[in-house]
Amino acid sequence: MDLKHFQNGIQKRFHLNFKPDFFRFLGEAVEARIRATESKGIEQYRFFFQEDPEEVSHLISLLTNKETYFFRENPHYRLVTRVICPELLKNRAYYGQPIKIVSAGCSSGEEPYSLVLALVEVFGEGITDQIEVVGLDIDHDVLHKASMAVYGAYSFRGVGSEVLNNYFSPFAGNRNVLKASIRENVRFVQHNLADWPYPEEARGADLIFYRNVSIYYENETQEKIYQNLARLLTPGGYLVTGSVEISHHDTGRLALKREEEIFYFCKETEASESSDLLSGSPVQKLSRLPDKKALLKETNKNQTKNIQPNLSDEERTLSKALSLTTDEQWEEALITVEELVTKNPDFLSAYSLKALILLQLNRAQETEQVCQQALKKDGLFAAPYLLLGLASQKNTDHPEAVHRLRKAIYLAPSCWLAHYHLADSYRETGDNDSARREYNVTLNLLENSGFENHGLPVFRSEYTESQIAGICRDKLNQLTVN
């Protein structure tokens, strides 16, 4: 069977230089399409192939490797939840600005859906208001399958029973369908990754997953797609590739990063890219850290007097107030921070500290007033919403606490303390499913983001991080029993 005509047609249609190995099953694919189109033989199918533009897509659909499943190469998803997403959330231009995630070569959708699931598991459902996820693929047929989000057992090899039960529902033919609350967060767009420009939905990506796709292409096409993806990224954005593809793409166009044993790429920010231009000499790279004793000796030699930290008066006063709260001298701390608010009514950190002190002194009404003052100055400040939620809990108004804590989480998704108290209020209102979800999110955040991400100016607890995690597990067990 002469297959050269079909091979050339595919390459011409998609402007891609495939590796010869890509066409190893071309004969079988052509025979399958002859049967599907009810052609009488290869000559009739050749004519059909030439005349119907969609037939090329159907044929290539049989050639591309559909070796995909949920949470494939799971360390990449941990990288996103522990490192990349917290960094992107922290560096957003403004609160509420969505993070745009692109799955390039998304196939039947397991990858982009896995990204949403991983983020929801760690940050809670509120994170879906903070992200936009787009799946791109050249194959129209697999995009249709992706949009349906119906999968057989093969797709769940990397999925635990808890995720399967929480986010999927049984479907006909021993398959499962992804719940709409997850499915609706991903948009699928047909696009050839080698073509520029990219669809509007994908432009300005903060994170791109491009894994196990470039293995199909010759070097020329690999480089073309890589340049397109680098161009698609915003400054400070990230590119995650398959483990075997790292060496192909380590060309210097994007900075290679490492987190434990995982390598990934980052597009330098504009400030980083221009730093060499602004300086009078090239940036000097250190082969090792300078010796601290030698550095201290040199510093003392060049200085004739001690230099105090370059803090403003407001910062010194705030530091004093924080020290007083650490020693639990709440009344003295309140006097100090009130002086600061009087001198500088726009110093937002002082408001949240004052509200926290008032809450510790059981002055809930005043706590509310100070938080509302802070929100009038900046409605996207998360700490006042967290403190308002805690004040509502003290007043046993748990429906209002839920409302306020959800707002805090919307603005600061990685704040474990907000998730923990939201779980408590859900439990008090009888919403056990939501309570279980939030306790699980708290556990994930404590593990991934750390104890210090509590969202308050200062946080003192008689419990350690491991003890709080134990409390969450105990409450989860109680909810399961009930």
Q: Categorize the per-residue pLDDT at 203 as very low, low, confident or very high, splitting at 50, 70 and 90.
A: very high
Looking at 266, 294, 327, which one is the last position of a domain? 266
Which residues, 6 or more positions from 176, have their beta carbon under 8 angstroms from its beta carbon? 150, 151, 156, 164, 168, 169, 170
Most confident of 288-302, 327-341, 418-432: 418-432
Q: Answer yes or no: do 79 and 53 share one domain.
A: no
Q: Which domain holds residue 41?
A: 3-61
Residue 239 has a pLDDT of 97
Is the Cβ–Cβ distance between 66 and 108 less than 8 Å?
Answer: yes
Residue 24 has a pLDDT of 66
Q: Answer yes or no: do 124 and 8 share one domain.
A: no
Residue 4 has a pLDDT of 81
Alpha-carbon gap, residue 27 to 329, rounded angstroms: 81
Listed residue (59, 57, 62, 63) closest to 191, CA to CA: 57
Residue 377 has pLDDT above 80, yes or no: yes
Model pLDDT for residues 279-305, shown as the tens digit of each residue: 333 333 223 333 333 333 343 344 333
Look at residue 421 and tell me if it is in a domain. Answer: yes
Q: Answer yes or no: do 394 and 256 share one domain.
A: no
Total domains present in the chain: 3
Q: Answer yes or no: do 52 and 100 share one domain.
A: no
Residue 134 has pLDDT above 90, yes or no: yes
Look at residue 301 and tell me if it is in a domain. Answer: no
Q: Answer yes or no: do 35 and 129 share one domain.
A: no
Look at residue 390 and tell me if it is in a domain. Answer: yes
Find the CATH number of the domain harbouring 243. Answer: 3.40.50.150
Q: Answer yes or no: do 87 and 232 share one domain.
A: yes
Q: Answer yes or no: do 88 and 220 share one domain.
A: yes
Residue 120 has pLDDT above 50, yes or no: yes
How many CA atoms does the CB half-sphere of 39 hold within 13 Å?
A: 17
Q: Answer yes or no: do 245 and 339 share one domain.
A: no
CB atoms within 10 A of CB 219: 11
What does the pLDDT average to over 123-127? 90
What does the pLDDT average to over 156-165? 88
Q: Answer yes or no: do 56 and 83 share one domain.
A: no
| The one-letter amino acid at 178 | L
Tell me which of 460 and 376 has the higher pLDDT.
376
Tell me the average pLDDT of the chain: 82
Residue 372 has pLDDT above 80, yes or no: yes
To the nearest whole percent, how much of the chain has pLDDT over 90?
Answer: 35
Residue 132 has pLDDT above 60, yes or no: yes
Q: Answer yes or no: do 395 and 476 share one domain.
A: yes
Residue 5 has pLDDT above 50, yes or no: yes
Residue 167 has pLDDT above 70, yes or no: yes
Find the CATH number of the domain harbouring 473. Answer: 1.25.40.10
Residue bearing tokens 């004093």: 320
Q: Categorize the per-residue pLDDT at 272 as very low, low, confident or very high, splitting at 50, 70 and 90.
A: very low
Look at residue 349 and tell me if it is in a domain. Answer: yes
What does the pLDDT average to over 146-157? 92
What does the pLDDT average to over 161-182? 93
Look at residue 218 and tell me if it is in a domain. Answer: yes
Q: Answer yes or no: do 415 and 452 share one domain.
A: yes
Q: Categorize the per-residue pLDDT at 52 as very low, low, confident or very high, splitting at 50, 70 and 90.
A: confident
Q: Answer yes or no: do 133 and 224 share one domain.
A: yes
Look at residue 399 and tell me if it is in a domain. Answer: yes
167 burial level (CB within 10 Å; 0-12, 13-18, 19+): buried
Q: Categorize the per-residue pLDDT at 276 as very low, low, confident or very high, splitting at 50, 70 and 90.
A: very low
Tell me which of 81 and 289 has the higher pLDDT.
81
What does the pLDDT average to over 151-174? 90
Alpha-carbon gap, residue 216 to 24, rounded angstroms: 12
Tell me which of 463 and 446 has the higher pLDDT.
446
Tell me which of 458 and 179 has the higher pLDDT.
179
What does the pLDDT average to over 436-441? 90
Residue 426 has pLDDT above 80, yes or no: yes
Omega prior to 197 cis, within 30 of 0? yes
Most confident of 88-102, 224-238, 454-468: 224-238
Look at residue 205 and tell me if it is in a domain. Answer: yes
Look at residue 13 and tell me if it is in a domain. Answer: yes
Compute and round to an integer the Cα radius of gyration of the chain. 28
Tell me which of 70 and 250 has the higher pLDDT.
70
- Which of 52-61, 82-91, 115-124, 208-217 has the least mean pLDDT? 52-61
Q: 3-state SS of the chain?
A: CCCHHHHHHHHHHHCCCECHHHHCCHHHHHHHHHHHCCCCCHHHHHHHHHHCHHHHHHHHHHHCCCCCCCCCCCHHHHHHHHHHHHHHHHCCCCCCCCEEEEEECCCCCHHHHHHHHHHHHHHCHHHHHCEEEEEEECCHHHHHHHHHCEECHHHHCCCCHHHHHHHEEEECCCEEEECHHHHCCEEEEECCCCCCCCCHHHCCEEEEEECCCHHHECHHHHHHHHHHHHHHEEEEEEEEECHHHHHHHCCCCCEEEEECCEEEEECCCHHHHHHHHHCCCCCCCCCCCCCHHHHHHHHHHHCCCCCCCCCCHHHHHHHHHHHHHHCCCHHHHHHHHHHHHHHCCCCHHHHHHHHHHHHHCCCHHHHHHHHHHHHHHCCCCHHHHHHHHHHHHHCCCHHHHHHHHHHHHHHCCCCHHHHHHHHHHHHHCCCHHHHHHHHHHHHHHHHHCCCCCCCCCCCCCCCCHHHHHHHHHHHHHHHHHC
Tell me which of 241 and 248 has the higher pLDDT.
241
